[in-house]
Structures are given as C-alpha cells and as structure tokens.
Amino acid sequence: MRPDTEAHLALHRLAQALASLPVLDSVYGMMVGTTMHVWVVLHDLSRPYEEAVFDAQIDTDPDFWLVIHLTDSPDTVPANAEKVDMPTAV
C-alpha cells in the first residue's frame, strides 16, 4: 500500500472515531512530504476534548501516527487542506 493511501485511510478512521464528539466542527487533512497532518476543528478546546482527540488517534491507529493540530476556527486551517466528509450518524 502506498504511504499516502495508508495515511488517508488513517485520516478517515480518525474522522469516523471523532464523529460522535459533541464539540466537533470538522476535520481536514493534508500530506506534507510523507506525513499526514490533520486539523481538528472543535467548538471547545478544553482539555477533556483535546484529550479525546488524541485518545481516538491512539485507539484507532496505535501504529500509524498522524500530526494533529487542534483549532477552534476553520480559518486557521491551510487553504489547501482537504475537508473530510464526516460520516452521518445512524
């Protein structure tokens, strides 16, 4: 599997794991060299929610690390980062 394909799959698994987080606004990803950077936009950047994002990364892909950036505004996400289509709740 190509590294960027594995990274994109990890990004989507993380987004799916975060979908039920009540303060989640959106998730963006962008490959920088061989590293997937992820911007998680939260309405509330309090410690429990920040920890929940990192816990989701560890639980979802303990052997594949993403560089996670937390923000409370999509305006801080690089313009060329791709927004992840969030799964719908069932």
pLDDT digits (tens, 9 = 90+) for 36-84: 999 999 999 999 999 999 999 999 999 888 999 999 999 999 999 999 9
pLDDT for position 88: 55
pTM here is 0.90
CB 89 within 8 A of CB 19: yes
Q: Where are the domains of the chain?
A: 3-83
The structural architecture, per CATH, of the domain 3-83 is 2-Layer Sandwich (3.30)
**Amino acid at the residue 2:** R
| Separation CA 56–CA 46 (nearest Å) | 16
pLDDT at 1: 40
DSSP H or E stretch at residue 13: helix 3-18
> So what's the pLDDT on residue 86?
79
* pLDDT, position 72: 97
Q: Assess whether pLDDT exceeds 70 at residue 4.
A: no
Query: 29 is written with which tokens?
Result: 């990803």
Integer Cα distance of 4 and 40 in angstroms: 19
